[in-house]
Structure 1
Amino acid sequence: MKIAIMGAGAIAYASAALLIQNGHDAILWSPSGRRSEALARGEPLRSEGVVAGEFKPAVAEDCAAALAGADAILIALPANGHKTVMDAMAPHLVSGQSVVISSHASLGAIYLARLIADRGLDVPVVALSTTVLRARQTSDTSVKIATLRGKVDMSTLPTAAAERGLSLCKALFGDRFRPISNVLAVALSNVNPQSHMALALCNFTRMEKAEAWGQSEHMTMAVGRLLEAIDAERLAIAAAFGVEVRTMREHYSLTYGLPDAALGETAKRLAASQEPTLGPATIDTRYTLEDVPFGLSPLVTLGQLCGVATPLHEAGLQIFSALYGRDLAAENDILPALMARQLTREALVAMTR
């Protein structure tokens, strides 16, 4: 299949390498085009780690060229760019294509599905709870892939296209997907914002001073307790909406093949058994600048819609905004667009069918 990949960062590059290794054709496009200039000139994409080798993805000049003839589109860039890319894609999508969001953030699948419905197209939107791969971009032409996840939750809009969405994901990335009830459940299954909030908040000066610090090593017992307390709010929202999601402890257990245990204990095991995964060495990081506005803020909104208090999520919004000296919640451009459609609890549930 021909897969158009929206993005030119770590997950876009890693996905291109994996898709090409799996026998597909990949074409990259990002709004700025700066990172992919060398690839566009013909330099190979070099990947190391769980996917190793040199690969030659194509690079599109614009969004229309990327989508032309594509069987599926993979959105693989930070959530800060999701709305911009979705707005660029919407006029060029055609019935028969499918869109996969890796990973789903801030109810973006619902926003995109509304754009598609406005055009009357048959284009399912698949939302992944997290990325299939964990990767770090090491240069404009190279990527290091640390993990190929064993299980990823996914859901499809509309739900009538669930089998089509699951078959596509398996064909692209292998049999590693767990279909769950609806896109709202996927939105509430993304645990990165909670995990990153605890790690970034408790290690903020290490980030600001550009220190090299291992994430597992610095998820101490106290940080683990904070993370589980933040996670309890996410679980309460899911229960109020009547959807089932994994706990953070279950997520770590399934991702790393470890026993279900307190997160501090799990982190200690990982630190002792794996090569360190370094945390951000800058405060200009997706752990905060993406996951606060597009991860914590939507959970606060969902809590308000279903009547669940989220004091730790709200505190995260306020504390990180104070640390950066700017209103991070205001940087979310997807929620206002959805709220303009008179978003209520009942309307939101209806949009996920």
Structure 2
Amino acid sequence: MPGLIREITVCGGGNGAHALIGTLLARETVERVRLYLPLDEERARFAAAVGREFRIRTPEGERCSPTEKLKITGDPREAARSPLIVLVVPAFAHGPILSSLAPYLTESHVVVALPARSGLEFEMKRLGLPSALVGFQTLPWACRVAEYSRRVTVYGTKRWVGVACLPADRTGEAVQAFGPLLGVEIRPLGSMLALSLANPGQLIHPGIMYGAFGKKLDEVFPSEEAVPLFYLSVDGPTAELLSGMSEEVMRLKERVEELSGMGLSGVMPLEEWLRRSYGEAIEDASSLVQMFRTNRAYQGLRVPVVRTDGGYRIDLHTRYLTEDVPFGLAVTKGISQIFGVATPLMDEVLEGVGRWLGKRYLSQGMLAGQGLSETRAPQRFGIQASGQLLEVYGL
């Protein structure tokens, strides 16, 4: 896998894709970066920027890179010329992008999802793709586009990021290749099942939206400065909700390990993940509330909003809900259901945010509502029993 990094295709044009593009352009080992953008408008904006410097601003300063080795394309055949395909898009776009690339993907390709969220392995199996899959637990960066196609701001970088592969025996290659490429420590999580369960966004984003902002959905904020900071809005009850959902994941982990013999050491309590990921960036680790409020990587990031009459209103179509629920929390609920582990707090959040989104994920406490077809829960792919689930991972 280390030999594949000379030519890389990046799929996506959002915040994470900008940070990745800037990172790759600065690497001497990378000779060609293909940027696959099916949308005409995004492609035109990036094409116009080729030849100019691409800038990344970090807490340590600003880095500029030339863009001559960046090639913009909307052709999936051209995109598949790179042996390494990196998806840096919302999880709902994974399926459509992989479907467009599928005719050109072979066993020699490696598909990377940065991040994978949960259940991507079921989507790959459905599509029958022969390529190896590398899934990252999260983005390495907390970042925002400063100027589309030209500048990105990185507010903080995690100390490490978890990775898993399918087949699992390629994880060592991924650790060796992506550590130097991304500039962060890469730690193996053991399996894609561990990666799916260890997805922190599935707890943090819907949990904070539901716990801290559930009663503010009708509130209009008069200015951008008045929009609340997202992570700094975590209070005692919200922290209890997040901690409780994390405990439900840990009970599921123990049940899966007991029945399968699979090691899931990469699945850890939320507080432990925050400590390991951000380290000294957290100034006060005395409580979960303080870990969010004093994390330097979380400063300045506001709750997603949309413009409305008189100001700004909380955006219910943010990826915090449209991605982290169907491609995160619902997947873990589905796996919990298969292994017979009760998840009352997850159920509360799924039902609550489901009402906001006009989706019904649960029926009598079971993942069987009409919203199931829009998730990556195993039940959507006909997986109902533990044996079927474990077969996906070669067990």
| Normalised TM-score (structure 2) | 0.80
1:235 counterpart = 2:250: yes
Where does 1:77-226 land on structure 2 (aligned, <5 Å)? 77-113=89-125, 115=127, 118=128, 121=130, 123-141=131-149, 142-174=151-183, 176-201=185-210, 202-204=212-214, 205=216, 209=220, 211-226=226-241
Of 272, 296, 318, the residue aligned with 1:285 is 318
The one-character-per-residue Cα deviations of 1:179-207 (angstroms, maximum 9, x if unpaired) are: 12211001111111211122111224269
Counterpart of 2:76 in structure 1 is 63
How far the C-alpha of 1:15 sits from its partner, in A, is 0.7
Counterpart of 2:19 in structure 1 is 14
1:266 counterpart = 2:307: no
Q: Which has the larger radius of gyration?
A: 2
How far the C-alpha of 1:54 sits from its partner, in A, is 4.7
Unaligned 5+ segments in structure 2 are: 1-5, 258-263, 306-314, 362-370
Q: Is the 8 A contact 1:22 1:173 kept in 2?
A: no
Q: Is the 8 A contact 2:158 2:184 kept in 1?
A: no
Q: Is the 8 A contact 1:213 1:278 kept in 2?
A: yes
Rounded to whole Å, the distance in 1 between the matches of 2:11 and 2:168 is 24
1:322 counterpart = 2:363: no
Cα distance change of structure 1 residues 209 and 46 upon mapping to structure 2, 3 Å threshold: farther
Tell me the C-alpha RMSD between the 2 structures.
2.5
- Structure 1 segments (4+ residues) deviating >6 Å: none
SS at match of 2:34: strand
Cα distance change of structure 1 residues 203 and 126 upon mapping to structure 2, 3 Å threshold: same
Rounded to whole Å, the distance in 2 between the matches of 1:185 and 1:296 is 14
Cα distance change of structure 1 residues 291 and 53 upon mapping to structure 2, 3 Å threshold: same
Cα distance change of structure 1 residues 208 and 19 upon mapping to structure 2, 3 Å threshold: farther
SS at match of 1:137: strand
Q: Is the 8 A contact 2:140 2:157 kept in 1?
A: yes
Of 4, 17, 27, the residue aligned with 2:9 is 4
Which moved further from structure 2: 282-291 or 41-50? 41-50
Rounded to whole Å, the distance in 1 between the matches of 2:16 and 2:304 is 16
Letter in 1 for 2:112: V
Rounded to whole Å, the distance in 2 between the matches of 1:87 and 1:289 is 20
Of 29, 32, 39, the residue aligned with 2:39 is 32
How far the C-alpha of 1:214 sits from its partner, in A, is 1.6
Rounded to whole Å, the distance in 2 between the matches of 1:207 and 1:194 is 23
Rounded to whole Å, the distance in 1 between the matches of 2:24 and 2:287 is 35
Of 262, 267, 270, the residue aligned with 1:248 is 270
Rounded to whole Å, the distance in 1 between the matches of 2:180 and 2:122 is 24
Letter in 1 for 2:143: A
Rounded to whole Å, the distance in 2 between the matches of 1:195 and 1:207 is 22
Which moved further from structure 2: 96-105 or 205-214? 205-214
Cα distance change of structure 1 residues 128 and 287 upon mapping to structure 2, 3 Å threshold: same
| Normalised TM-score (structure 1) | 0.89
Rounded to whole Å, the distance in 1 between the matches of 2:290 and 2:126 is 43
Rounded to whole Å, the distance in 2 between the matches of 1:182 and 1:54 is 35
Letter in 1 for 2:374: N
Rounded to whole Å, the distance in 1 between the matches of 2:169 and 2:7 is 24
SS at match of 2:86: strand
How far the C-alpha of 1:55 sits from its partner, in A, is 4.7
Q: Is the 8 A contact 2:372 2:380 kept in 1?
A: no
Aligned-pair identity (%): 21
Q: Is the 8 A contact 1:222 1:264 kept in 2?
A: no
Rounded to whole Å, the distance in 2 between the matches of 1:190 and 1:342 is 20
SS at match of 2:134: strand
The one-character-per-residue Cα deviations of 1:30-70 (angstroms, maximum 9, x if unpaired) are: 332432321123454443225632552321122221111x1
Cα distance change of structure 1 residues 335 and 275 upon mapping to structure 2, 3 Å threshold: closer
SS at match of 2:138: coil
SS at match of 2:156: strand
